[in-house]
Structure 1
Amino acid sequence: MMTFIDLCSGIGGFRLGLELAGHKCIGYSECDKYAVRSYQAMYNTEGEWYSGDITKLKPEDIPQADIWCFGFPCQDVSCANGRRKGLAGERSGIYYTIINLVKGKNEEDKPTYLLIENVKNLLHIHEGWDFTEVLAELDEAGYDAIWQVLNSKDFGVPQSRERVFIIANLRSRGRREILPVAGTNGRALKQIVGGMQGYRVYDPNGASATVTNASGGLDKGTGLYLVRPVIGLNRMGKRQNGRLFKNPGEPMFTLTGQDTHGIAIKDPAFRIRRLTPKECWRLQGFSDELFEKARAVNQEAQLRKQAGNAVTVNVVYALAKTLPSMQN
């Protein structure tokens, strides 16, 4: 077991994946008050170190831990942002803040590992120079880095979500082989018992299905003969891989904090309904129990946004399982 600090924590995708692999969280930092509400409702955070604004911290303010994990804000890096300032942007520039905190630590107090997540475009923005800067900063802080693009659909959830994961190892403590990590394709929505909406049963290994947003009782919206993932209900110009609709059986488009996701249902004519917040959370690997705790303290709009900004739990768990059980 190793200890870890959950920075830019959101709703704790890194935390949950690491905890499921047997590691222990000793502190977290998040500036979004709504995400903090969910986080504190979901996890037992009593007695843990906490900071709301990481930009105001000094290196000595953060307790010693074996791992620091963070998915720094991607807005300035993502293809969804036309300006794409990269690491020079105010939000994605948080990366420098965190690395400077690491640099300011005495060698014996630095974390052994940094687990970092961001959008795949981090590898390519500004012709790769921003990613070169990421690696240069890690090198200057004393870390060797390896990286891999992983897709959530290969780790048991039916969502196509490509993200680059960087594992940095403090070189003074020796290098450990962690990546590459392989997964298997997730499955799409599969109904195994029919009937009225309230009584249908779905394959637990496939996409999650909950009640529709329509009213009318248990028999409303029955007859799911064909299901297509849909993106951009609120932004019709939005595309992922040039499409608004996927084919039946394909994984959901990448969840974001901005877009409205849904599914097209043929029953017998086509209609579109939004994904429920619970479905969005399931697509990120969170349990219904944790979702219900978050729903008790937040409204639907915030829950959808939090799912879109989260790190997929299943992917973190796969990475965490490759870490050693304890330090040498």
Structure 2
Amino acid sequence: MKFLDLFAGIGGFRLGLEQAGHTCVGFVEIDKFARKSYEAIFDTKGEYTEHDINCINTKELPEADIWCFGFPCQDISVAGKQKGFEGNRSSLFFAVTRKLHELKDEKKPSYLFIENVKNLLSINSGWDFASLQIELDSLGYDIEWDILNSKEVVPQNRERVFIIGHFRGRGTRKVFPIIRKGEPIDSPKQKIIRVFDGRNTGTYGSQDVVSPDGIAGTLNTMGGGNREPKIAIREATKKGFDEAYKGDSVKLKFPNSKVKRGRVGHGKAHTLQAGLNQGIVSNDLRIRKLTPRECWRLQGFPDWAFDRAEKVNSNSQLYKQSGNSVTVPVIYEIAKRMNWKEIE
């Protein structure tokens, strides 16, 4: 199917959708640095594009079966000011729906594929999410949604809500719940396989964190059931500290905080943010910063994509872009269930 990539960022939606066999017909992205990465990664020659979602002329839009977008979450995230849809950024959701209102029913996409922070479900006592449902219903869409955690496919703890809008009468396929091998995707039995063991090679510790395809795990257990050696990380708990082992992530943003908990990510990274907010315990038991490449890997981007983006952007922008992106393998898992053909 054909899709339009809105709030495109560096192309996390696009990469996952293309891996599932869908075709991009255009993209919209206002950030000039994200656009540089996007255009370096993908062949966008001849495609429709616009910078500002508010400037879209619906008469010029290419027809698409899917509109995908992760509209800005700054006003919804628990780390923000909690303005919800009254905020200037997250209210851009309605900039998209205004364009849909301008389209005749036969021109509207069959699917809407939406991503945001899970707080979208509860902010303002749930009234914002109710407003979203009412708005999409007025456009002719029935919706389903679920919360998925990136840790099931990459070593990063990142919960996000995904919403699928189905245009009534089109015979679209239900997507959720996502089941893998007879179990939900968030099953605790789901295993992550180590594909490179940096502990025993004497190489740079980052190679023991994530693989180029974003599937490898970090240090898990050692013989005898104990993980050692380890270091103590100050934490705002009754115990006062947590134990970190080689490969564990450590939050760097509030190193001396007396109220922040959960500073150690055991066997996985914390949620990536727009700025570098965490490090990793290396083989010599020192805490070092994650590299931009590692952050992109934690979002499931292949190294060839990072290599292209690295040529056109600074490290600070690459960190920001990874934190703002969606997790590619999660997008793929959803997108392959939106194909018209039967899922294997």
| TM-score normalised per structure 2 | 0.82
Please report how far the alpha carbon of residue 51 of structure 1 lies from its aligned counterpart in structure 2 after TM superposition: 0.3
Using the alignment, how far apart are the partners of 2:25 and 2:258 within structure 1? 39
Distance 1:63 1:238, change over 3 A: farther
Please report how far the alpha carbon of residue 65 of structure 1 lies from its aligned counterpart in structure 2 after TM superposition: 0.5
Percent of counterpart pairs with the same letter? 45
Structure 2 partner of 1:181: 178
| 1:26-41 alignment, distance < 5 Å | 26-41=25-40
Structure 1 partner of 2:307: 292
Structure 2 partner of 1:244: 263
Which sections of structure 1, spanning at least 5 residues, go unmatched? 210-223
Using the alignment, how far apart are the partners of 1:126 and 1:254 within structure 2? 23
| 1:1-328 alignment, distance < 5 Å | 2-81=1-80, 83-154=81-152, 156-182=153-179, 183=185, 184-186=190-192, 191=197, 194-197=200-203, 202=208, 204=211, 205-207=215-217, 226-233=246-253, 237=257, 242-247=261-266, 249=267, 251-265=268-282, 267=284, 270-325=285-340
* Count of aligned pairs: 305
Q: Residue type of the partner of 1:255?
A: L
Q: Secondary structure at the match of 2:264?
A: coil
| TM-score normalised per structure 1 | 0.86
Q: Residue type of the partner of 1:60?
A: K
Q: Secondary structure at the match of 1:93?
A: helix
Q: Residue type of the partner of 1:159?
A: Q
Q: Residue type of the partner of 2:119?
A: N
Please report how far the alpha carbon of residue 193 of structure 1 lies from its aligned counterpart in structure 2 after TM superposition: 6.4
Question: Do the aligned partners of 2:155 and 2:269 also contact (CA within 8 Å) in 1?
Answer: yes
Question: Do the aligned partners of 2:198 and 2:205 also contact (CA within 8 Å) in 1?
Answer: no
Distance 1:193 1:253, change over 3 A: closer
Using the alignment, how far apart are the partners of 2:22 and 2:50 within structure 1? 21
Question: Do the aligned partners of 2:111 and 2:172 also contact (CA within 8 Å) in 1?
Answer: no
Q: Residue type of the partner of 2:13?
A: F
Q: Secondary structure at the match of 1:315?
A: helix
Distance 1:95 1:201, change over 3 A: closer
Q: Residue type of the partner of 1:245?
A: V
Question: Do the aligned partners of 1:256 and 1:309 also contact (CA within 8 Å) in 2?
Answer: yes
Question: Do the aligned partners of 1:3 and 1:23 also contact (CA within 8 Å) in 2?
Answer: yes
Give RMSD over aligned pairs.
Answer: 2.6
Question: Do the aligned partners of 1:193 and 1:200 also contact (CA within 8 Å) in 2?
Answer: no
Distance 1:207 1:199, change over 3 A: closer
Q: Residue type of the partner of 1:197?
A: T
Distance 1:59 1:79, change over 3 A: same
Q: Secondary structure at the match of 1:27?
A: strand
Question: Do the aligned partners of 1:231 and 1:259 also contact (CA within 8 Å) in 2?
Answer: no
Using the alignment, how far apart are the partners of 1:259 and 1:76 within structure 2? 20
Please report how far the alpha carbon of residue 197 of structure 1 lies from its aligned counterpart in structure 2 after TM superposition: 2.0
Distance 1:126 1:186, change over 3 A: farther
Question: Do the aligned partners of 1:169 and 1:175 also contact (CA within 8 Å) in 2?
Answer: yes
Distance 1:188 1:201, change over 3 A: closer
Structure 1 partner of 2:239: none
Using the alignment, how far apart are the partners of 2:218 and 2:281 within structure 1? 15
Q: Residue type of the partner of 1:160?
A: N
Please report how far the alpha carbon of residue 136 of structure 1 lies from its aligned counterpart in structure 2 after TM superposition: 0.7
